[in-house]
Amino acid sequence: MALSDQDILDFVGENPGAGRDAIRKGVARDVSETTVWRLLKRMVEEGRLEVSGKGRATGYRIAGAAVVRAHLSTPYNRRAPVSYRPEFLDAYVPGKTWYLSAPPLCQRSCPPFYFSSISQVGGIGR
């Protein structure tokens, strides 16, 4: 079985912090440790994997935006469920309250004079 970068990324995405030996056993047992080490080293240099620890405690994680891609490529039924605090959602009253304060809501897209008009009116959503 040939070992591909995607095989390693898939395994590390499902097993963050996995070591070199665990990756080899989980992805391709017939590939030598040296080959796995070379692939992992190259992927770290390319910025696709991050390293934590040293020596036997070395672990690998998917780096940067690759984390998001790995999460989105995971089937819905295998993702960790998301929960919400009901009291947070129940406290919202349309047209009277809002979840975000005024500056973060339109910090980049609003003209400078907009913030002064918000403070005069009393906030966004009123």
pLDDT single digits (tens) 6-21: 888 889 888 888 998 8
**What pLDDT, on a 0 to 100 scale, did the predictor assign at position 109?**
56
**What pLDDT, on a 0 to 100 scale, did the predictor assign at position 102?**
52
- What residue ranges of the chain are covered by domains with CATH 1.10.10.10? 5-77
What global pTM score does this model have?
Answer: 0.50
- Options 1.10.10.10, 2.70.50.60, 3.40.225.10, 3.30.479.10; CATH for 5-77 is 1.10.10.10
What DSSP element (H or E) covers 121? helix 113-121
What distance, in Å, lies between the first and last C-alpha atoms of the chain?
A: 63
**What pLDDT, on a 0 to 100 scale, did the predictor assign at position 114?**
47
Unique residue bearing structure tokens 């339109």: 106
**What pLDDT, on a 0 to 100 scale, did the predictor assign at position 40?**
92
Spans in the chain with pLDDT lower than 70:
1, 65-67, 99-126
CA distance 108 to 13: 34
74 Cβ neighbours under 8 A, 6+ residues apart: 13
